[in-house]
Structure 1
């Protein structure tokens, strides 16, 4: 998908068919795979990422403990995890998310995710900023496709560190 840009104005790219959450949706819930034992700092990274979207949309996001009932289901997985989009290990595909109203949001468990601090100061050579990737994937959950504008949050690639 490409953005249609002219005279400095870009039209946002959407998934084919422009899938959306039901009309009037103002709140979406999210939950973490119950098999995860995520610490509070990691959960806060996701809360921060959702907050970024709340600032620029009319949607708010609320964490719920009901994974089955959540609109957005978040989990860290390795290799083939049953959705037809297997992960490939360190630094290939970092994450993927499905369009509305599917709501699945998966991250590659084998990545060197940076939760606290500046990724550029990490001692890990393959460090990836979890919040940056989460903001990007939430865009997909909201129905946005990739941008052709390098540096845009919906640009399809990111460098480590």
Structure 2
């Protein structure tokens, strides 16, 4: 039969046991928190490398009509000067403006308006003007304009 512990003997033993358990538990919890934080920071570091935004340059421009008014809804094509086909296609907005991110580098680009299937709001037929050329130096912004005839 187990020995019965009287109350005065039990309290010091319980306090000693609780203090030892509390220290051990605190250490375990603290180590667990440290390992979790280390794992989260390592995971965040690998994600940030994957999702890190690459540097870019910006080609910004406006499409102008023969009446010197901005033209909405014109398809704008952009290609590298050394390539034959357009790499980027976008449309001018309500103020005739367009903007395209391109890789940051020393590069020449050719920009032109593709009017195939375009119908102006006033019914006039527009004709493509000259191509615009833009030289980009690394991560700068280049402003240009396209003038339709």
TM bucket normalised to smaller: under 0.3
Structure having the higher Rg: 2
| Greater per-residue helix proportion | 2
Give the TM-score, by structure 2 length: 0.24
| Greater per-residue strand proportion | 2
Give the TM-score, by structure 1 length: 0.23
